[in-house]
Chains A and B, each alone.
Chain A
Amino acid sequence: MTGRSDTGGVLRALPATSAIAPRRRRTRRPRRHVLRDVLVLNLTPMLDVIFNVLLFLIVVTRFSTPEGYLPARLPARSAAAPGFDVPRVPVRVYVTGDAVGGSCAVRINDRNAPPVAPEALIAQLAGLLKQPGFDERTPVYLSADDGVKWDDVVNVYNAALAASYQRIFFVRS
């Protein structure tokens, strides 16, 4: 009994469902479509560029010691001196390769004087500035033997700069 009546109900209800179904589709489809869209950022070109730049920087990077400049001078060739410059007694610094324990010996103003210890060089040069007739404008003539290492010469030159001398010249020994 129940089976028959059910079949009849279904048959009767069929046209009604088929009529409703298209209406639902029309209203809901666009909404579902919008929800399913996912915004995807395409990172591939950016990654390509970044990797290229990174690779370039890795290749060209140098992890070396930072270097700087010490301003240096040679004596001017012309004999013409500035008209109002006071003649000064220069400080002469001799760098020779005859040190007993070290790589070079440094003497100030006298080639036969006892050598100055490298760590005392700045203080000794600065001490000269306190004497009458000496100031920062006093020329320092740095003369080094040919066999002395360039590192030692620069060290002495740097010491004169550190002692506040402004006119330091490389001269022939």
Chain B
Amino acid sequence: MGGRSRTNRTPYEIRLNLTALVDVTVLLLTFFMVVNQFASAERVEMPIPRPRESMARDRRIAEPVVINIIHRGPDAAPAYQIGPLAVGSLADLSQRLAVEKRNTPQIEVVLRADRRLDYARVREVMELLGEHAISKFHVVAEVASGR
């Protein structure tokens, strides 16, 4: 009884001041929108080559076909991925490449290879490009800091 009468008498109205929360949230939102590079299924997470005085530029390429060559250990064969699709072997990669080339004759190929790979592994894929009459492509490397 006493408790109830005390509650009834309370003159306060509890309000949550959301201003600071909204401020911080909107700031965080803006930050993430600015710094975000949308994770692309086409770009597998891997250490890419880091050349001295890198000449690599982050230029826009219209609808590139990204080929990833993924390192799986010093003695293991690498894994391949073309676009978002993982392919089991070089033969499968060749088939996919043929399809892409048929669909887009002026195909723009981007070669993303793990920096730890032996050159032989990358050369095999380059030769595959040559077989499909793709003589120009783009090699992915780290952009020099400050560019």
Q: A and B bound?
A: yes
**Residue ranges of A at the interface with B (Cβ–Cβ < 8 Å):** 43, 46-47, 50-51, 53-54, 57-58, 60-77, 95, 118-119, 122, 144-155, 157-159, 161-162, 170, 172
Contact check, A69 vs B39: say whether CB atoms are below 8 A apart: no
- Of chain B, the residue at the smallest CB distance from A144 is B119
- Of chain A, the residue at the smallest CB distance from B131 is A77
Q: Is B117 an interface residue (CB 8 A)?
A: yes
- Of chain A, the residue at the smallest CB distance from B49 is A154
Nearest CB on A from B66, distance (A): 11
Q: Is B98 an interface residue (CB 8 A)?
A: no
Q: Is B121 an interface residue (CB 8 A)?
A: yes
The docked-state distance in angstroms from the alpha carbon of A146 to that of B59 is 30
The 7 A-B residue pairs with the shortest CB-CB distance, nearest first, are: A68-B56, A146-B120, A158-B51, A57-B32, A154-B49, A151-B115, A69-B138
- Residues from chain B with Cβ under 8 Å of A148 in the complex: 118-119
Contact check, B53 vs A122: say whether CB atoms are below 8 A apart: yes
- Of chain B, the residue at the smallest CB distance from A118 is B52
Contact check, B32 vs A61: say whether CB atoms are below 8 A apart: yes
Question: Given A146-B119, A159-B52 in contact, is the A61-B138 Cβ separation under 8 Å?
Answer: no
Nearest CB on A from B80, distance (A): 14
Give the number of chain B interface residues (Cβ < 8 Å): 56
- Of chain B, the residue at the smallest CB distance from A68 is B56
- Residues from chain B with Cβ under 8 Å of A58 in the complex: 32
Q: Which of B18-60 touch A at CB < 8 Å?
A: 18, 21-22, 25-26, 28-29, 32-33, 35-39, 45, 48-59
The docked-state distance in angstroms from the alpha carbon of A170 to that of B135 is 10
Question: Given A70-B138, A158-B54 in contact, is the A149-B39 Cβ separation under 8 Å?
Answer: no
Contact check, B56 vs A69: say whether CB atoms are below 8 A apart: yes
The docked-state distance in angstroms from the alpha carbon of A151 to that of B119 is 9
The docked-state distance in angstroms from the alpha carbon of A101 to that of B113 is 25
- Residues from chain A with Cβ under 8 Å of B117 in the complex: 149-150
Contact check, A72 vs B140: say whether CB atoms are below 8 A apart: no
- Of chain A, the residue at the smallest CB distance from B51 is A158
Which of A62, A70, A71, A73 is the one whose CB lies under 8 Å from B37?
A62
- 20 further interface pairs, Cβ-Cβ under 8 Å (given A66-B58, A150-B114): A43-B18, A54-B25, A57-B33, A58-B32, A60-B38, A60-B39, A61-B32, A61-B36, A62-B37, A63-B35, A67-B58, A69-B57, A69-B141, A70-B139, A76-B135, A146-B118, A149-B117, A153-B122, A154-B139, A161-B55
